[in-house]
Structure 1
Amino acid sequence: MLKSKLILGSACVALACLALPAAGQSNGQISLVVPYPAGGGSDFIARTIAPALSKALDRIIIIENLSGAGGAVGSNRVLQRPADGRTLLLGSPNEVILAPAVNPALEYKPDAFRLVGPATQTSQVLVGRPNLEAADVRALIARSKAPNTDAVSYGSVGIGSLYHVTGAVLAAETGGNMFHVPYRGAAPLVQDLMGGQVDVSFLPLAGNVLGLIREKKLKAYGVAQAERNPLAPEIPTLGEVAPELKSFQYPTWAGLLVRAETPDDEVRKLQAALKQALSDPQVRSAIEASGSAVAEPLSLEQAKDQYRRETEQFLKIVADRAISVN
C-alpha cells in the first residue's frame, strides 16, 4: 500500500511540474481525478488539457490516477471531497451514469455529479473480425436474422460499458440474434476481434483503432452518429447503409464533472477555463491527432440539459434491456 501511494505521489508531483501557473500567482491547487491508470485514454486527455487549464484558472493542477471497479473508485473519491470546484473528475457516461446504473452495490448515483463540459467527442465505430462474411451492416443484420445460422457475437470492454449498451441497442432495434461477450478491457477484445474469436464490437474511433481498420485488421461497418467522422471520411454512418439505423446515434465524450452541489459560480469559472484550454492550438492538435474531436463549449444550462438527457436515455436502455452486473 505504501509503495502504491509513493508511486501515485510521484506521478502527481511530475504532472504538477507541468501544470504550474506563473510563479507567485497560484490561488491554491485543484485535483483532477482520472479513474483509470496512467497511460490510458482518459489519462492522455487529462494530461493534455491540464497545463492550459492550470493557466486559465491560475492554479496548480495535480492529476490523481485512482483506478478500480471500472472507474467507480476514482468517481467515488470525488464525491468524498468538498463541493467547492477544487476536485474535478475526468469522466464520461461510462463511470458516472452507466456504472451505477448496472451495479446497485456502488455508493453513488448519476445525480451525484454535474457536468462542467466535455473536452473531447469521439465516434463509436462498429467493427468486425477481418474474415466476417458480411460486407456491410445491412448484410450483417441479415446474417443475424437468418435461420439456421449461428448468433452474432458482440464484444465489449465489460458489462454495462457504453460499448455493451450500444451493442444491446443494436440487437434490440434490428431484431437480430446477437449475444454479448464481455472482456476485461479493450486490449484483449481487440486481440480477439483480429483473431476471429468474436464477431463484432463497438469501439471508439480513436487511438490505434483507425490504423487497424486501414490495415484491414478490423472491418469497419459504420459510425454510430449522424455524420461521417472527418478524420475517417471513408467510413459511412450506419444510417447511410441501413436506413433503419438513421437515428442510431451514440457518439461519446470525455470531460470534466464535479459534485452536484458545486455552486453555479464555481462551475461557470471552470467552464470558462475549459473553453480557454480547448482553444489552445497545442491542445487541439494533440486531441485531434489522437482521433477525437475537440468538444464545443457548453453554458451552464446546456451542460445541465445534456447530462439530464443522457442520464434519462441510458437509464431507460439499462432498465429496458435488464443490463446488470449481477
Structure 2
Amino acid sequence: MTFSTLPLTTPLSRRSLGLLALAAAGGTARAQAYPAKPIRLIVPFTPGGSSDILARAVGQELTKSMGQPVVIDNVPGAGGSIGAERGAKAPADGYTLLMGHIGTLAVNPSLYPKLAYDPVKDFAPVAWVARVPNVLVVHPSVQANTLADFVALARAQPGRIAYGSGGNGSAAHTTMEYLKLVTKASLLHIPYRGTAPSVTDLLAGQVQALFTGAPALLPHIKAGRMRALAVSSPRRIRSLPEVPTVAESGVPGTKGFEADQWYGIVAPAGTPPDIVRTLNEQVNKALALPDVAARLAGEGAEPTPTTPQAFGALIAAELQRWAPVIKAGGIKPE
C-alpha cells in the first residue's frame, strides 16, 4: 500500500507557511512595538489633587520617552474606588494603567465591605512613584511642644482635644486613628469635606490638631500659625529637619510607626511581564529627572523608584497595617 503526500513545494503549502511566518513576525513586531498606541492612565480623583499632579508629571515624561501620548483620565468617586475598579477590569495589555495610592490600594479594602476589586489579585504592581509624609500639628494654644506632651494631654483630658481631617476614611483620619491606637490617646474626630477646610478651622482654633500631608501645612508651620510635633515618615523630612519622627518620640507603642501617604502605578492583573518591566524602567527614569523631582517636591513628595516586586510588597504590608486600625477606630465611609 502506498501513501501519497502533498509536497511542501505546492502553492497551498507555500501559502500556509507564508501565513504562519507573517503571523509569527507580526506577533514579534507587536511585542517589540509597545506602546503602539496611546496609554490611558486612570486617576481615581478629581483634577488638581496630589494623585492627579503626580500622574501628569510622570505621564508627561513617559509621553516623551515612549513615543505615545499618556492620556490622564480622571474618574473620581467613592474614595477612589470607582476609578480603581475601572482600572482593574480593563484589558491586561499595558494600555490602561491606574495611579493608585494608599487609599485605593491599602485602606479601601477594609473601609468598603463590598469593594469591587482586590488590590492584590486584580492588579500587577508597576512602579512606586512617591511618598508624601504626614505632619502632626497643633494650634499654638495647645500646651504641647512634643508628641509625648500631646499624648499625655490627650490621656489626661479624654475627648477634649478635637482633631480635623479631610473626611471619614481620609489619610488624615486613618493616620490619627493609627496614632490613637498605638498610644492609647483619646481624641475627638471632626471630619471635613476636604483638607483645606480642616486646615482653616485649625488656624481658627475650632479644632486643636491635624495629622495630614506636609504640603498643606508647611506655609503655616513656617509662619508660626501652627506647631509641628512629629512626622509620620521613618526618617525626618528635608523641609522640616528639626521635627522628629513619631518613632523618635519615645512614646510607648510608637516604635516602627510609619504612616506616609504613598502613590504608585498599577496595571490590570495578567499584564505581560515584559510590558510591566518596560513601564517600570521608564517611570524610574522619569523620577530621576530634575524637573520631575522639582514638581514632586512642590507637592511635598519624595520620589521612590524601585522594582515592581518591592512595590507589590509595600501594598501587601500596608493592607495588613491598616486593617486593624480601621476596625479599632470604627471607621466608616461617608
Any gaps of 5 or more consecutive residues in structure 1?
Answer: 1-24
1:235 aligns to what? 243
Whether 1:56 and 2:53 are equivalent positions in the alignment is no
Cα distance per residue 1:86-141 (max 9 Å; x no partner): 11111201122212321124322322233212211111111112322222211111
TM-score, normalized by length of structure 2? 0.83
Whether 1:273 and 2:282 are equivalent positions in the alignment is yes
For residues 290 and 258 of structure 1, the distance between their equivalents in structure 2, rounded to whole angstroms, comes to 24
What amino acid is aligned across from residue 62 of structure 1 in structure 2? Answer: V
Q: Using the TM superposition, name which of 221-230 and 252-261 deviates more.
A: 252-261
1:127 aligns to what? 137
2:222 aligns to what? 214
Give the secondary-structure state (helix, strand or coil) at the position aligned to 1:56.
Answer: helix
Whether 1:303 and 2:282 are equivalent positions in the alignment is no
Residue 275 (structure 1) shift: 1.0
For residues 176 and 321 of structure 1, the distance between their equivalents in structure 2, rounded to whole angstroms, comes to 12
CA contact (8 A) 1:26 1:60 kept: no
Residue 167 (structure 1) shift: 0.9
2:321 aligns to what? 313
Using a 3 Å threshold, how does the CA distance of structure 1 residues 183 and 113 change in structure 2: closer, same or farther?
farther
For residues 150 and 71 of structure 1, the distance between their equivalents in structure 2, rounded to whole angstroms, comes to 31
CA contact (8 A) 1:194 1:217 kept: yes
CA contact (8 A) 1:126 1:200 kept: yes
What amino acid is aligned across from residue 198 of structure 1 in structure 2? Answer: V
For residues 78 and 111 of structure 2, the distance between their equivalents in structure 1, rounded to whole angstroms, comes to 12
Q: Using the TM superposition, name which of 298-307 and 80-89 deviates more.
A: 298-307
Whether 1:153 and 2:162 are equivalent positions in the alignment is yes
Residue 223 (structure 1) shift: 0.3
Pairing partner for 1:70 from 79, 103, 112: 79
2:124 aligns to what? 114
For residues 300 and 233 of structure 1, the distance between their equivalents in structure 2, rounded to whole angstroms, comes to 30
Residue 150 (structure 1) shift: 4.8
Among the aligned pairs, what percent are the same residue? 32
1:257 aligns to what? 266
For residues 241 and 321 of structure 1, the distance between their equivalents in structure 2, rounded to whole angstroms, comes to 23
Q: Using the TM superposition, name which of 117-126 and 283-292 deviates more.
A: 283-292
For residues 283 and 71 of structure 2, the distance between their equivalents in structure 1, rounded to whole angstroms, comes to 16
Q: Which one has a bigger Cα radius of gyration?
A: 2
CA contact (8 A) 1:154 1:199 kept: yes
CA contact (8 A) 1:52 1:280 kept: no
For residues 73 and 155 of structure 1, the distance between their equivalents in structure 2, rounded to whole angstroms, comes to 26
Give the secondary-structure state (helix, strand or coil) at the position aligned to 2:174.
Answer: helix
How large is the RMSD of aligned CA atoms in angstroms?
A: 2.2
What amino acid is aligned across from residue 203 of structure 1 in structure 2? Answer: T
1:226 aligns to what? 234
Any gaps of 5 or more consecutive residues in structure 2?
Answer: 1-33
For residues 50 and 197 of structure 2, the distance between their equivalents in structure 1, rounded to whole angstroms, comes to 16
Cα distance per residue 1:231-271 (max 9 Å; x no partner): 22122222333343232221221121122332322211111
Matches within 5 A, 1:185-224: 185-206=194-215, 208-224=216-232
For residues 128 and 186 of structure 1, the distance between their equivalents in structure 2, rounded to whole angstroms, comes to 15
Give the secondary-structure state (helix, strand or coil) at the position aligned to 1:258.
Answer: strand
What amino acid is aligned across from residue 221 of structure 1 in structure 2? Answer: L
Give the secondary-structure state (helix, strand or coil) at the position aligned to 2:271.
Answer: coil
TM-score, normalized by length of structure 1? 0.85
CA contact (8 A) 2:171 2:212 kept: no
CA contact (8 A) 1:226 1:249 kept: yes
For residues 26 and 60 of structure 1, the distance between their equivalents in structure 2, rounded to whole angstroms, comes to 10
Pairing partner for 2:180 from 161, 171, 187: 171
Residue 320 (structure 1) shift: 4.1
